[in-house]
Structure formats: structure tokens, C-alpha cells
Amino acid sequence: MSGFYRRTKPGPGVNLRAGLVAGGVAATAAAVSFYVVRLFLAREPLDPLPSLAPGERPAESSIEEDGD
């Protein structure tokens, strides 16, 4: 196999394949960017934690553990 190529005039088939590849790349980039933007826009801020006075301990968890 040769390491050199001869440049020819592109025909309609070459243009169609190039357009399909470019369209596929563009559709993939659009889908990924849509998903990432939707992920960032669908976020909600969490409620802030209550502030504790100096030396105060946080309340114990109300979830009881089973003694298995």
C-alpha cells in the first residue's frame, strides 16, 4: 500500500458521504450538549444547614438502627 494519494475531483457520492458524516458528528455534539445543559439547568439548591451555637452538638439522628 502506498503512502501517497492522488487528489481527484469529488463527485456527488463523496459529497453525500461527507455530508452524512458531518451530520452525524453535528447530531452527536448537539445531543451531548443538550444533555449537559439540561443536567445543569435542572439543579435546585439544597436548604442550608442550621447554624449551631459554639459548643453545641448537632441533634441525634431520628433513624433507629436495628439491633440484629
Domain-located, residue 35: yes
Annotate 19-45 with DSSP letters as a single string: HHHHHHHHHHHHHHHHHHHHHHHT--P
C-alpha to C-alpha distance for 19 and 63, rounded to whole angstroms = 59
Query: How many domains in the chain?
Result: 1
**Residue 12: helix, strand or coil by DSSP?**
helix
Q: In sequence order, which residues have a C-beta less than 8 Å from that of residue 22 and are 6 or more positions away?
A: none
Domain-located, residue 60: no
Domain-located, residue 61: no
Domain-located, residue 37: yes
Q: Let me know: does 58 contact 52? Beta carbons within 8 Å.
A: yes
Domain-located, residue 55: no
Domain-located, residue 56: no
C-alpha to C-alpha distance for 55 and 40, rounded to whole angstroms = 38
The boundaries of the domain holding residue 20 are: 16-42
Domain-located, residue 47: no
What pLDDT, on the 0 to 100 scale, is given for residue 60? Answer: 72
What pLDDT, on the 0 to 100 scale, is given for residue 57? Answer: 78
Domain-located, residue 10: no
Question: Mean pLDDT by 10-residue block, N- to C-terminus, for the chain (68 residues)?
Answer: 84 96 98 97 88 77 62
